[in-house]
């Protein structure tokens, strides 16, 4: 016979405290007004409190009935009821939900906005399609390997980052009680040469399309307009990196002044960079504007108006059965400019490379852009490159002394 009565429970709900009913069942009322039924049991030499439910939803008789069921489960059936409850909770928390919460709680302490964005983007691109809806508690080593295998050799650095980020989310889920074990160790089953193949060391530069092939390639590229193809087209014509094109927003472009001002947070070296726009580049932007999606300022949007995946441009090349890498177009541009006689300093400035000589870096302040009435050599360089890519004869460069 329990100690509590219906009247006593009703009175207890108004007064914070702990009220014993007997045989381990008790009512706990908090200062905030929250009230819960709990059952205290001894299991494996440890005292454990098992939540039964809200006292505002369960009557005294219902709480006693549930307590009887739990006592039987623990003492007679030898079940770990708390572990079962944790597993049940974990089954409701998907990998996507855990990753988003981990990202939200940790982003403020990360080194930059770009890293914070890339961290989540890597999971959205490579992990969520396969593991996003999977409960964190059921993600296995085999699941992780299935995500990593397609990119393990193709983009090894990114693949290793993705592996580490998956494991960080799973460790986070374990700490929150959504998963019974920590993530598989990167030193064991997820190490190269064990569950994953050894990565091929990339000693050579990324394969670049010869610049002589680019004009005919662009003719083929432009036959089927899409945001991915237009983005690759602009990347080639401006000598920029994939990230700079994928993250580009319309507010960065001054089409009247023919300048693309890339903000520092989009640049590899975190320094703002101005890119002169040739007639060919402006034509690409005109096509992108015609396809513009309402509600987004992204020039080349992917899913839901967000920046496209960093694999989209490579996929364009693979769909066209081209064996080259996206980054290789910067090499092609460099080779063409050298053969045309453009000074290395101008080409390096166009590519936003760091000046290797510290003395030169300190004294060379010019951007080679000139002014509207007298365009600088970088403007002429990009105009000539755009004309060449479009199959038109290029104007030889004027001497650097004119700058």
Q: pTM of whole model > 0.85? A: no
Q: Mapping DSSP to helix (H, G, I), strand (E, B) and coil, where does residue 214 land?
A: helix
Question: Is pLDDT above 90 for 216?
Answer: yes
Question: Is pLDDT above 60 for 365?
Answer: no
Average pLDDT value for the chain: 85
Q: Which of 35-49, 279-293, 346-360 has the lowest mean pLDDT?
A: 346-360
pLDDT value of residue 360 = 41
Question: Is pLDDT above 60 for 17?
Answer: yes
pLDDT digits (tens, 9 = 90+) for 318-342: 999 999 999 999 999 999 988 888 8
pLDDT digits (tens, 9 = 90+) for 145-188: 999 888 888 778 888 889 999 999 999 998 988 887 888 865 56
pLDDT value of residue 90 = 58
143 in the Ramachandran plot: left (φ > 0), alpha (ψ -120 to 50) or beta?
Answer: alpha
Q: Mapping DSSP to helix (H, G, I), strand (E, B) and coil, where does residue 129 land?
A: helix
Tokens at 288, concatenated = 């992108």
**All structural domains of the chain:** 6-79 (3.30.160.390), 87-203 (1.10.150.130), 211-402 (1.10.443.10)
User: What is the spatial distance between Cα 390 and Cα 283, in angstroms, rounded to a whole number?
Assistant: 11
pLDDT value of residue 201 = 65
User: What is the spatial distance between Cα 385 and Cα 336, in angstroms, rounded to a whole number?
Assistant: 8
Tokens at 268, concatenated = 């590899």
pLDDT value of residue 369 = 79
User: What is the spatial distance between Cα 309 and Cα 375, in angstroms, rounded to a whole number?
Assistant: 35
Q: How confident is the model at residue 137 (pLDDT cuts 50, 70, 90)?
A: confident
pLDDT: which is higher, 179 or 105: 105
pLDDT value of residue 370 = 67
Tokens at 167, concatenated = 């494991």
CB-neighbour burial class of residue 346 (10 A; exposed 0-12, middle 13-18, buried 19+): buried
Q: What sign results for the dihedral spanned by CA atoms 187, 188, 191, 192?
A: positive
Question: Is pLDDT above 70 for 52?
Answer: yes
- Cα–Cα separations (whole angstroms), residue 132 to 15, 93, 177, 311, 318: 44, 10, 18, 19, 26
3-state class percentages of the chain: helix first, strand second, coil last, to nearest 5: 50, 10, 40
CB-neighbour burial class of residue 287 (10 A; exposed 0-12, middle 13-18, buried 19+): middle
**Taking the CB of residue 202, how many other CB atoms lie within 10 A of it?**
10
User: What is the spatial distance between Cα 281 and Cα 193, in angstroms, rounded to a whole number?
Assistant: 45
Q: Which of 50-59, 116-125, 177-186, 360-369 has the lowest mean pLDDT?
A: 360-369
pLDDT value of residue 388 = 93
- Average pLDDT of 43-62? 86
Strand order of the sheet with strand 35-43? 17-22, 25-29, 35-43, 46-54
User: What is the spatial distance between Cα 29 and Cα 401, in angstroms, rounded to a whole number?
Assistant: 84
| Contact by Cβ (8 Å): 265, 195 | no
- Average pLDDT of 236-249? 95
Question: Is pLDDT above 60 for 203?
Answer: no
């Amino acid at each position: 016979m329990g100690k509590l009565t219906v009247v006593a429970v009703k009175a207890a709900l108004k007064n914070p405290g702990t009220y014993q009913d007997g045989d381990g069942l008790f009512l706990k009322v908090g200062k905030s007004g929250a009230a819960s039924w709990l059952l205290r049991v001894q299991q494996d030499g440890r005292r454990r409190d098992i939540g039964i439910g809200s006292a505002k939803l369960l009557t005294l008789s219902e709480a006693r009935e549930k307590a009887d069921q739990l006592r039987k489960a623990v003492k007679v059936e030898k079940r770990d009821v708390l572990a079962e409850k944790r597993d049940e909770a974990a089954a409701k928390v998907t990998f996507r939900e855990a990753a988003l919460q981990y990202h939200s709680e940790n982003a403020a302490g990360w080194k930059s906005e770009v890293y914070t964005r890339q961290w989540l983007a890597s999971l959205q691109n490579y992990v969520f399609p396969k593991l996003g809806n999977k409960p964190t508690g059921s993600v296995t080593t085999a699941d992780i390997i299935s995500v990593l295998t397609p990119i393990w050799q193709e983009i090894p650095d990114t693949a290793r980052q993705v592996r580490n980020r998956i494991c960080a989310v799973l460790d986070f889920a374990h700490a929150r009680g959504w998963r019974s074990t920590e993530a598989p160790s990167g030193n064991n089953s997820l190490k190269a040469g064990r569950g994953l193949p050894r990565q091929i060391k990339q000693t050579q530069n990324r394969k670049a399309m010869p610049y002589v092939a680019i004009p005919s390639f662009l003719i083929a590229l432009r036959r089927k307009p899409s945001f991915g193809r237009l983005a690759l087209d602009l990347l080639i014509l401006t000598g920029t990196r994939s990230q700079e094109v994928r993250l580009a927003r319309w507010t960065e472009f001054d089409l009247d002044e023919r300048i693309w001002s890339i903000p520092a947070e989009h640049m590899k070296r975190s320094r703002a960079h101005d890119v002169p726009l040739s007639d060919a580049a402006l034509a690409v932007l005109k096509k992108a504007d015609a396809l513009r999606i309402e509600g987004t300022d992204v020039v080349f949007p992917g899913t839901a108006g967000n920046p496209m995946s960093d694999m989209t441009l490579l996929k364009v090349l693979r769909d066209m059965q081209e064996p080259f890498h996206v980054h290789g177009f910067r090499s092609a541009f460099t080779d063409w400019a050298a053969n045309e006689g453009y000074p290395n300093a101008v080409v390096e400035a166009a590519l936003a490379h760091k000046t290797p000589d510290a003395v030169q870096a300190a004294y060379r302040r010019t951007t080679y852009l000139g002014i509207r009435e007298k365009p600088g050599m970088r403007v002429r360089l990009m105009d000539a490159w755009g004309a060449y890519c479009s199959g038109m004869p290029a104007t030889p460069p004027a001497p650097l002394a004119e700058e």
